[in-house]
Structure formats: structure tokens, C-alpha cells
Structure 1
């Protein structure tokens, strides 16, 4: 198999239908009550004691919820929450009345604090030592006003059966983010493909589940596509080859709202190539 060959291609009509189905499933995931479109706030927490609620006088002013939701206390790397009486709060599905230590998202089982009759919630997130509250609301304008995401026309010429070369175990790559962090991430291998006789490479990130995750930038960014790049998952064929289908390139959450902590493409994945495939820039409310 040659590096990055564009064939054999699936039957064209079936292929187009499969990509359209993928796009529809992607939109359905975004529209879920706790999908990316429901984000309404991201509040970083410094050490100390902070009142929390939608009242303008709160130390941390929320976009939704009771005027006085409760009190947040950060002590070192621990964050505690004390709910206000009659705020209608539930925590992890049960009624809440006492001070509770919040588990962060990196634990794999974050504490979910719900209010507004369960329509809104917050969780504690941790990013490179920074601790913050990520707030969601199922009635967020970004969700209720979602207009769908435009795509380039489906083109099987952007589907490649590419060479995959694993890196030695333990190799990492520095990944920057929109919140000015820099974090080493597991760099499991490199993908190689050709376009019009020119070779290209994409470094792959393993987020812990073994999937082949790619963060890339190309010459469409800031024009027809989101300025900070796009995401893509490659699909393994065998130990040395993968399918890279740019028709499945999609926007990071930061293209849809202002409260995400998206990683940015590493320098190695900034391609001198206009990839006219996959999702275009989102033009709806965000």
C-alpha cells in the first residue's frame, strides 16, 4: 500500500450517505442538554471563599440560576461547595443541604451540582493546575438558537488510506490551549499521506482511550473554517495503516461557545494545504 493513497474508495452514493449520517449524529450530540452548546460560563477559582449566584453582588456571577446559589471555598487543591437554603439544588441526583467536597472532571466522576429544576448545572474542572467551574444550561441561547453547521461538499478524494508509524512508548508532544496552558500529551504516532504528490504528516495524540486523535490547522482556517483549527479521528486499518477522512473534520467546542478550554494544533500539524472538506466555521450564536 502506498503512503496516503486515496483508494480503493467506497461506493460513492453509499459513502456520501454515510458521511451525511455522521454529520447528523454529530449535530444530535451537540444538541443534547449537556452538550457543548449548553455551556454558559467558565469561572476560574482562586484560593479563598466566594459567594456564587446570579445576583450582581455575588463574587462569582452566574449567567443563570438563583440569586444566591451558595458559597465556594478553595483550600489548596480542594474546592468545597455549601448550598444556600431553598436554592433547589441537587448533587449527583440527590438533595443537597450540607457542605460538600467537589470532585473535578479529571477524576472521571465529577460532582454534578444541578439547579433550575435540573436544567442547569456546574462541575469543577482542572486544567494544568487551574481549577474552575464549568456552567451549563439546557436553555442556553447557543443551544436553543443552534442553526446547524455548514460543511464542504462531501468529496471521497479527501479520504486517505495512510501510513501510520507508532512512536516509542512514553513519547509526548506539547499542546497549547486557548486558556494559555501548555501540557505534554501522549504522542502515539505519526500519520503520513500525500496530496497531489506532496507528502504531509500529522502527529497523533492518545487521550487515554487508544483512539487516534488529531488536532490540525490548514490554509482554510480563519477563512471558510474556524481560525484555531479543527479536530479529526483517524481509524485504524491494521498496525501500519489508518483511514484519514477529512470529510469528518470537525470544529472544536471553542468554535461554538466562549467557555471551552480547547487544545490548539501543535506546530507539526499546521499544514500548508487548503483542506476543503469537513465542517466550515460556525455562524450561529456563540
Structure 2
């Protein structure tokens, strides 16, 4: 850590008898397994949005595709009309990114980056605008059910973490972005503190490269102003590494 973090570290209860560092190693292995699965981030080769009113036909889309391809449906809100927009995703277990993937570089585990913060519930269904990487400056409103207040290096931040299928997901930025870490920011799942339901744990050792760092077919949210830290967060994943000069997403 390049600067002193004044907020005290909070030890996480280990999920095994081996301790937090071993749990982190296990998390790293699980991350690799998920990234390299047939429908992992590295396998996504196409996101195809359909004309207005058209519904996805997975069987028709799969016809004629190689046996390595899986097709799934997805939905989002059209930024102009506000109406649901349907699409298809094509995943290839033999994608070039998967064939060339080496690893995801990461900072060494550092218990000083396991931090505790307070949580303040917000009005029901509060939405906060998040710019997305492929929306040309447009924003999408995401449900942010509570504020997270963190004191870091003498600065107090009120962070917006959005609801990701029942789990809070923090999209954050820091001065390492674009140099040692992914340029558009990183993601971190927020954990409830075991000893106090008004507190949360932010284990930045588990900060991870967003899906758009592995495939240009994702449209990831970017950190809003309130989620940008003034000091380098030298913990968690850095960047994907590929062999043979394969172009990485930055």
C-alpha cells in the first residue's frame, strides 16, 4: 500500500481452517475456473441486439453454429424509448481469448486492505445513474438500496453500490486505473459484517476486473464520481494476461 490507510482493518472470519490468505488463493482459483468456463467472460464472442419488438429465438440462432457455441438470451432497457430491448449472446468455448488466456495478474494478498464501513439504507428503489462503457456517455439507472460510508486515508467516502441479483456490487476507480489495473475501474462485492448488520466489509483483495476487461461484447457500468478513490488501491486483480501478443481489453 503506497499510503497509510487509517481506517482499521477488520479480520474476516475464514471460510476454512487455513485462514484468509488461503481463502484468497481459493477465490483466485474459483475466479479462473469461472472465467475459462464455456460461458465465462472469455468465451463471449458476440452480443446481438434485436430490432424493436423482436423476441430472441435461441434455437434458430444456434442453428449452423459450431458445437463449441452456446447461445443465451438477455434483456436491457433502451436508453431512448425506455422500453425493454432483447438480445442474444454467443459464447464459444474455443474463442481466441480463451485459447490465448494466461492468467489475471493480481497484487499479493494484503490484510491491510480488508476494511470495514458503515451502511445506511436508502429510500426503497432509489436509483443512481451509472455511465456504461459502450453507451457513448449515456447513463443507466441502477438500484442503489443503501449508502456505504468508508473512511480511507483520512478521507470519508459515501459510496454507491448497486443491487446485483441481491448482492451489493461496488464499481470503483482509483489512480492505478489505466496503468497497473484495468482502465475503466474494478468491481467488488460487498459483504455484511458478521458482528454488526449496520456494518459491511470491503475486502479489496477480492477486487476484480469487470467482464468488459475480458471481452469487448460486454457493456459494463463505470465508477460514478463518488466511487473514485484519491489514493491507489494496490490490492485485488490488475489486468488479464494473454499469450502470443493477443490484444487485451484496456
TM-score with structure 2 setting the length: 0.81
Unaligned runs of 5+ in 1: 47-75, 82-89, 97-111
Q: Partners of 1:178 and 1:266 in 2: how far apart?
A: 12
The aligned counterpart of 1:202 is 159
Q: Partners of 1:141 and 1:217 in 2: how far apart?
A: 29
Q: Partners of 1:174 and 1:24 in 2: how far apart?
A: 33
Map residues 79-158 of structure 1 onto 2, 5 A cutoff. Answer: 79=55, 81=57, 91=59, 113=62, 116=65, 118-129=67-78, 130-158=85-113
Compute the RMSD of aligned alpha carbons. Answer: 2.4
The aligned counterpart of 1:7 is 10
The ranges of structure 1 where at least 4 consecutive aligned residues each deviate by more than 4 angstroms after the TM superposition are 8-11, 114-117
Unaligned runs of 5+ in 2: 1-5, 79-84
TM-score with structure 1 setting the length: 0.72
Q: Any idea what SS the aligned residue of 1:135 has?
A: strand
Q: Partners of 1:265 and 1:40 in 2: how far apart?
A: 25
Q: Partners of 2:161 and 2:66 in 1: how far apart?
A: 41
Q: Does 1:241 align with 2:190?
A: no
Change (3 A) 1:34 1:10: closer
The aligned counterpart of 1:191 is 148
The aligned counterpart of 1:70 is none
Count how many residue pairs are aligned between Structure 1 and Structure 2: 226
**How many Å apart are 1:125 and its aligned residue?**
3.0
Q: Which is greater in Rg?
A: 1
Q: Partners of 1:4 and 1:77 in 2: how far apart?
A: 51
Do the aligned partners of 2:116 and 2:200 also contact (CA within 8 Å) in 1?
yes
Report which structure shows greater RCO (CA 8 Å, sep ≥6): 2
Deviations 1:123-157 (A, max 9, x none): 34333224443221110011122101010011000
Q: Partners of 1:228 and 1:190 in 2: how far apart?
A: 22
